Structure 1
Amino acid sequence: MPQPPRRSGATTLLRSPGLRAVVGACCLLALGVGTASAGASPVRAGHRAAANTAPDRAALAPGLINHVLVIDLENEGYDTTFGAHSPATYLNTTLRSQGELVPHYYATGHFSLDNYIAQVSGQAPTMLTKADCGDFATRAFTYVDVLPGTDDPNPTTHPGQVDGNGCVYPAPNPATGSHGAPTIADQLDARFPPNPATHRAAWREYAEDMGNDPARDGGTPDPSGGTDCAHPAVGAPDTAEAATATDQYAMRHNPFMYFHSAIDNRAECDANVVPLGKLRADGTPDPSGHLAQDLADASRTPRFGFITPNLCDDGHDDTCAGVNSEGGHTGGLAAADLWLKHWMPLILGSPAYQHGDTLVVLTFDEADADPSTPGYAAACCFEQPGPNVVAPGDSTFKATVDNAPGGGQTGAVLFSKRFVRVGSVNTSGFYNHYSALRSYEDLLGLHDGGSDGHGHIGFAGAPGLEPFGPDVFNAP
């Protein structure tokens, strides 16, 4: 979700004539506008021509990567985050030297929620999800079903999409044959069934501060503190929208709470949508917290983990209602950088990561959503608008086509001890949230079903969309 115009640092996307041609062609096609001369192959933009053959797979075979951890920060364009004057000094020095910078990674919409949903389901925005399911004029935020919630009848142009408006997507219904809106959690449940006694699954969401105030957040009490699977009743207001001094959890940054397939299975949701954990007085993660417990043992590390810092630590709030990782109230990229400084050593030092079969993806939900920021709504990878909105990046809620096809260039840093060359910069790959989801599915061996019959759900199954290739997995 954007805030009033704040930090300087406009995104400069079009650095060279060749890149201008690639991104320009990409954006035009995302709006359904043809171009006679793109100036560069669309393959460079992460999309090949549709074919009636098996799709391209990620460059690593299943079994080489057994754990994918995704960390989302908030609301910054590439040049702001990775530019020379970025306040994220730890990210831009220590972490960049340990991973691979992917400059041409793009969000798929504005504001926050639609981007989180895209990363786990491939669903394009509804009018409400791209408004964070709220009304910013009245500050009223709701939690309502996507209605009518029917399967889109045009699977070629809108693969795996659900038609309607609302926030909470319907589950697949085998009895009626409806595909609904599955998530990567559903795919993993099918391939790696949860433990029938504990309901522990192959996936987990770690949400910082979730349930610090149970009356605000909802959820089931967690033995380590906070609550699990925190969301209101469907149809009720969302009271976990703005941070408080003691609770900076935002449900809209916890994507699994927007799918009936997750929230309707309460036992599994409670077991797998859990609080992140806290820092000890010395600044290290408390080993009793869920993320620290799980990463201490490779056998407990989930195959897919989504890590959601709170509204201060993800950089969303300029001034924190509570405190950042070092006890101050400074927010923005500086706060996000502090959070990384305290948590990334745990992640990169974990047994699963050190074993070499873990991929860590650190990115942003969207670029700065201020429409005055150049490139704020750029798209790549021939992103399509979906059946429910005409401009995914239009943060002004217009009902007509404008020049806002996507969520802007955010960049990403990827880490793999075995398969990524440390300190490298990937200048050739173009990816977005949909192609990232497609990559996770490929790497984890989710090769059946989906919107394309090859294991890719929603727009992750768009014909010709390219997953992470040898440009990403570039270690010798």
Structure 2
Amino acid sequence: MPQFVRCALLAGSTLAFATSAFAALAQSFQPPALTPESISTNYTGQSNNTLQNSPLVPGKAFDRFIQIWFENTDYATAASSSVFQNLTKQGLLLSQFYAMTHPSEPNYIAAVGGDFFGQPSDDFRAIPQNISTVVDLLEDKNISWASYQESMPYDGCTLFNYTSFDYLTNNGTYTYYVRKHNPLIIYDSVSNVTERALRIRNFNDFAVDLNASAMPQWSFITPNLVDDGHDTTIDFIGNWLTFWLMPLLQDDKFNNNRTIILLTFDETETYTINNQIYTLVLGGGLPKHLVGTTDDTFYTHYSALSTVQANWGLKSLGRGDTNNTLNNVLEFVANTTGWKNNGISGNSSAIPLLNLTGNIPGPLNGEFYIPFTAPNTSAVGAGGGPVFVADGLNTSFTVAGLPAPVNLTASGQDTPWAANPGYDYPNGTQTFTTPTTQSSTSGTGKLVVPIATLLFTVLSMACML
């Protein structure tokens, strides 16, 4: 094994130990709201009215797809939870589901954009406007979507994190919300378009949308830093699931007979093992004969993209979602749509190593920097349509023409996509501040943009655009 890989794995193991030690000190669970359907003063952000959705677009296997993500948990740890054991009896266990890398943020980025673009950390990133996401594919077919982020202060919030009243202790404040777990806000193609940004909503909005029967057809749901297990334990997650998800499974406004719910984790806690994560399919749309069974097919976070594409006959992103090794469609959906999976399952030696950390070249990696490239426009996705190409994208700028990765870190620079574009939506409309850079996951102090970084950003954008 190369030295840089050994170093990456050692660093990941150390980080996982630190996370585990912190989780052991977590507080006791307290419901953040009276019920999942209730607006709560424990959340800073109030509802921004009811979501307005387009007419329902029928899918081949389901009409609604809901993803709920938790944090940093090994497969065996989740399997030991009595709550997860109970849920597994009600759903389909995907026993060979894998995350893409470490740490958290690149996995979230990958799940909606088909690539993590070399992101090696949880630092601030803003992916440029002409890089597409699942939102482009959904809107191309007029399929409604939204993301619900617990403890986010207001719709479309672009902040690095947000500290609010500590409802667990009723004393002081706590950082419950972080941008790195809000994948669509990281893409300028979503966050820099007002009507899109405002579809990234908080849990008070969720309660209003649910009560108004206004749940979209595609949604991405992130609990806050205690409820998703990031700062706590698998038992804390179990308590939140009992409070929040269990009642909603019985609510037809959330879970009807055409709903699929994908319950998963971003990554394993232990970096030295391959990135196998406990993942369940729940919902009334799951075929009855699959309830309480196990699917051993090899899946990854890209499978959430390919499954949605297959179901609604969408275009693809031409990235990891069209990688024939990584993009298996959920088998029961593949059977319905006619998609042929690759046959990798169980503990096959064909399952790649997906726990490498920080050493994948890409535009978000300052140490192994390469520019953004166009998607593979000749790729074939599970939806059968062509690859979606954003306006202004130079489709000739491909991987084949790239130079060797550049080490910007060695020259004191960061990737140009660490610069905060400076826009936000605190009052429901786009406002601008001085663009800044946030390069640390632990601080909220003064932000500085080196002149060299600004110049490099301008040059890189000119080359890519």
- Global fold match (TM > 0.5): yes
Maintained 8 Å contact 1:210/1:247: no
Maintained 8 Å contact 1:123/1:459: yes
Maintained 8 Å contact 1:242/1:250: no
Maintained 8 Å contact 2:164/2:175: no
Summarize the Cα distance change of 1:459–1:77 in structure 2 as closer, same or farther, 3 Å threshold: same
Which residue of 2 is the match for residue 188 of structure 1?
138
Distance in 2 between the 1:294 and 1:467 partners? 29
- C-alpha offsets along residues 307-358 of structure 1, whole Å, 9 cap, x if unaligned? 10011000011xxxxxxxxxxxxx2111111111111134312325553111
Distance in 2 between the 1:427 and 1:297 partners? 35
Which residue of 2 is the match for residue 209 of structure 1?
151
Report sequence identity in percent. 25
Asked if 1:316 corresponds to 2:274, the answer is no
Distance in 2 between the 1:337 and 1:231 partners? 29
Asked if 1:344 corresponds to 2:337, the answer is no
Distance in 2 between the 1:443 and 1:340 partners? 27
Aligned-pair CA distance for 1:471: 8.7
Maintained 8 Å contact 1:112/1:253: yes
RMSD over aligned Cα, in angstroms?
2.8
Which residue of 2 is the match for residue 303 of structure 1?
217
Which residue of 2 is the match for residue 4 of structure 1?
17
Distance in 2 between the 1:353 and 1:111 partners? 31
Distance in 2 between the 1:460 and 1:73 partners? 21
Maintained 8 Å contact 1:62/1:444: yes
Summarize the Cα distance change of 1:268–1:125 in structure 2 as closer, same or farther, 3 Å threshold: closer
Maintained 8 Å contact 2:316/2:322: no
> What amino acid is the match of 2:96?
H
Q: TM-score, normalised by structure 1?
A: 0.54
* Bigger relative contact order, structure 1 or 2 (CA pairs below 8 A, ≥6 apart): 1
Which residue of 2 is the match for residue 434 of structure 1?
302
2:113 to 121, 124, 129: 121
Q: TM-score, normalised by structure 2?
A: 0.55
Query: What count of residue pairs does the alignment treat as equivalent?
Result: 279
- C-alpha offsets along residues 101-123 of structure 1, whole Å, 9 cap, x if unaligned? 11111101100001011111101
Aligned-pair CA distance for 1:184: 0.9
Distance in 1 between the 2:306 and 2:157 partners? 27
- If each structure's helix is expressed as a fraction of its own residues, which one has the higher value? 2
Distance in 2 between the 1:435 and 1:275 partners? 26
- C-alpha offsets along residues 162-196 of structure 1, whole Å, 9 cap, x if unaligned? xxxxx221222xxxxxxxx2111121122217xxx
1:293 to 208, 212, 215: 208
Summarize the Cα distance change of 1:346–1:229 in structure 2 as closer, same or farther, 3 Å threshold: farther
Maintained 8 Å contact 2:91/2:286: no
Summarize the Cα distance change of 1:251–1:445 in structure 2 as closer, same or farther, 3 Å threshold: same
Aligned-pair CA distance for 1:472: 8.7
Which residue of 2 is the match for residue 250 of structure 1?
178
Aligned-pair CA distance for 1:242: 11
1:89 to 70, 82, 92: 82
Matched residue of 2:189: which SS? helix
